[in-house]
Chain A
Amino acid sequence: MLKVENLEVYYGVIAAVRGIDLQVEKNSIVTLIGANGAGKTSTLNALVNSIKKKGKIIANGHNITKIPTHKVVQDGISLVPEGRKIFINLTVDENLRMGAFNNEKYEVLKEDMYRKFPRLSGKKEQMGGTLSGGEQQMLAIARALMSEPKLLMLDEPSLGLAPKIIGELFETITELKKTITILLVEQNAFAALKIADYGYVLENGSIALEGKASELLGSDEVRKKYLGG
């Protein structure tokens, strides 16, 4: 599904990602965990080509390393950015329409999203900025799904949400796995590893550890560093 080779991201002379390899299998959840500043967000942004990078990215057999962001998305990779980035000056309905800008089936997809995310269906005409944090995150995911991606990438979806909402959110993500592939970046390592099939641990821009999510959950090193003992 997705194969990344030797990905490097530099901000000026400072390395954020130092040559990592990643692989995401079809219909699986792969998680990228690590501390703040480990290079998780940079990795995702590099995958959709919204920042400069080096390396090679193959998605669905296409080399997408050099194609512009909007084409990567049209190619079936959708990113739910860190901080949700809802269009606060557009209504919930318009936010969803934006997600399916190039897709003429948007009416059908929209109804589908309102079924999947019933919290949004009562707020169609409300401005995006008036939603609660949890609702905004749901909207951000729904908006990303509107482009009918094959690969959905989520950047810190649990950030700033109440524990109860996080539970609901991760249930939704698990549900999505039935139809699409997910690359999940999280600081909340425990929650992410619990629903993931495979995990990578990022440290200072390099992969420190990788393996089956269940094995990482059991590993002493991961427990000490990321799961609070």
Chain B
Amino acid sequence: MDLSTFLQQLVNGISLGSMYALIAIGYTMVYGTLRLINFAHGDIMMVGAFLVYLAVAVGLPFPVAVLVAIAGSMAVGVMTDKIAYKPLRDAPKISLLITAIGISFFLENLFNVLFGGVPKAFPAPGYLTISFKLGDVILPLMVIVIPVITVLILGAVLWVLFKTKYGMAIRALAFDIPTVKLMGINADYIISIVFALGSALAAIGGIFYAISYPSIDPLMGVIVGLKAFAAAVLGGIGSVTGAVLGGFILGFTEIFVVALFPELGGYKDAFAFFFLILVLLFKPTGIMGKDLERGRF
């Protein structure tokens, strides 16, 4: 592989990794607080992309459509918690997990009924799909925008978690929900914040994904969601920085497997999960994972 190919794959890897990272943060935060693997989280990304499609279809300008879609996805995320998960707070964790899988199927099929299963062209505006050429390296604008925004968002999430009182409550919640209530704090409200935050990031990830691979369908969140989940586990579930790290590792692995062994390109997803298994064999808590019962982010 020559240098320019390497650089090309490097930026592609950063870009794909960023998308996984954005979605993985939501998995890790919900797991950190509720010990729930929210399998519907990947579908929130699909909801985000579809809401942009819908908003543009009714005539809203693209940037407004994005904001509407993010807000709509936050609402869907918070509602899944209120309707499906909240009644099960004291139920066994397995009931919660099964419910999450049910919500995932529900969202996929709901959008299938509403929009049909045929992939649709994503209405990305022309100014977002331009590319620059640096020597032999082609740099689509989004490949630069995505990592920059991801880093900014990561900074914002860490700031919320460690510098605001709501972030403090989220960290406390991860450790001990009953005691948080004894502080006079409405724990369900804090949990809603977690879902809103995670869903917003998933929607942003979904919109990035839809711009980069400009078609959307109701099942687009399944495999991407699974890989983002794998990224969260790889990085150490419960840790936000771990989720981002895991996202990047997975993104790079995928891109470089295809680049180095083009004949194995069809197995790129298998490689991602193989890598996950490998890491977990040596470090079961993931790369940044600590003792989960200590509830650190």
Q: Are B185 and A101 in contact (CB under 8 A)?
A: yes
Q: In the assembly, what is the distance between CA of A215 and CA of B174, in Å?
A: 46
Q: Are A70 and B181 in contact (CB under 8 A)?
A: yes
Does any Cβ of B come within 8 Å of A150's Cβ? no
**Chain A residues within an 8 Å CB radius of B183:** 70, 73, 98-99, 101, 143, 147
What residue of chain A has the Cβ atom nearest to residue B296's Cβ? Answer: A89
Does any Cβ of B come within 8 Å of A113's Cβ? no
Q: In the assembly, what is the distance between CA of A125 and CA of B168, in Å?
A: 14
Q: Are A50 and B178 in contact (CB under 8 A)?
A: yes
What residue of chain B has the Cβ atom nearest to residue A93's Cβ? Answer: B168
Does any Cβ of B come within 8 Å of A174's Cβ? no
The prevalent SS among residues of B at the interface is helix
Does any Cβ of B come within 8 Å of A102's Cβ? yes
Q: In the assembly, what is the distance between CA of A48 and CA of B183, in Å?
A: 11
**Chain A residues within an 8 Å CB radius of B184:** 70-71, 73-74, 101-102, 147
Does any Cβ of A come within 8 Å of B21's Cβ? no
Q: A97-B168, A101-B169 given as contacts; is B174 within 8 A of A89 (CB)?
A: yes
What residue of chain A has the Cβ atom nearest to residue B179's Cβ? Answer: A85
Q: Considering the complex, which residues of chain B in the window 157-216 have a beta carbon less than 8 Å from any beta carbon of chain A?
A: 165, 168-169, 171-172, 174-176, 178-187
Q: In the assembly, what is the distance between CA of A143 and CA of B184, in Å?
A: 11
How many residues of A are in contact with the other chain, CB < 8 A?
26
A102 → chain B closest CB, angstroms? 6
B193 → chain A closest CB, angstroms? 13
B223 → chain A closest CB, angstroms? 34
Q: Are A98 and B181 in contact (CB under 8 A)?
A: no
Determine which of A73, A89, A99, A147 lies in contact with B294 in the assembled complex, contact meaning CB atoms within 8 Å: A89
Q: In the assembly, what is the distance between CA of A97 and CA of B175, in Å?
A: 16
Q: In the assembly, what is the distance between CA of A143 and CA of B179, in Å?
A: 11
Task: Encode contact with A along B245-265: 1 for CB under 8 Å, 0 otherwise.
Answer: 000000000000000000000
Q: In the assembly, what is the distance between CA of A87 and CA of B178, in Å?
A: 11
**Chain B residues within an 8 Å CB radius of A81:** 178-179, 182
Does any Cβ of A come within 8 Å of B295's Cβ? yes
Determine which of B169, B186, B294 lies in contact with A98 in the assembled complex, contact meaning CB atoms within 8 Å: B169
Q: Are B171 and A90 in contact (CB under 8 A)?
A: yes
Q: Which of A48, A81, A89 has the most CB of B within 10 A?
A: A89
Q: In the assembly, what is the distance between CA of A85 and CA of B176, in Å?
A: 8
Q: In the assembly, what is the distance between CA of A213 and CA of B179, in Å?
A: 30
**Chain B residues within an 8 Å CB radius of A191:** none
Q: In the assembly, what is the distance between CA of A187 and CA of B183, in Å?
A: 25
Query: B interface vs A, CB < 8 Å?
Result: 165, 168-169, 171-172, 174-176, 178-187, 294-296
Sorted nearest first, the 4 A-B pairs with minimum C-beta distance are A73-B184, A69-B181, A85-B179, A74-B184
Query: A interface vs B, CB < 8 Å?
Result: 48, 50, 68-71, 73-74, 78-79, 81, 85, 87-90, 94, 97-99, 101-102, 129, 143-144, 147
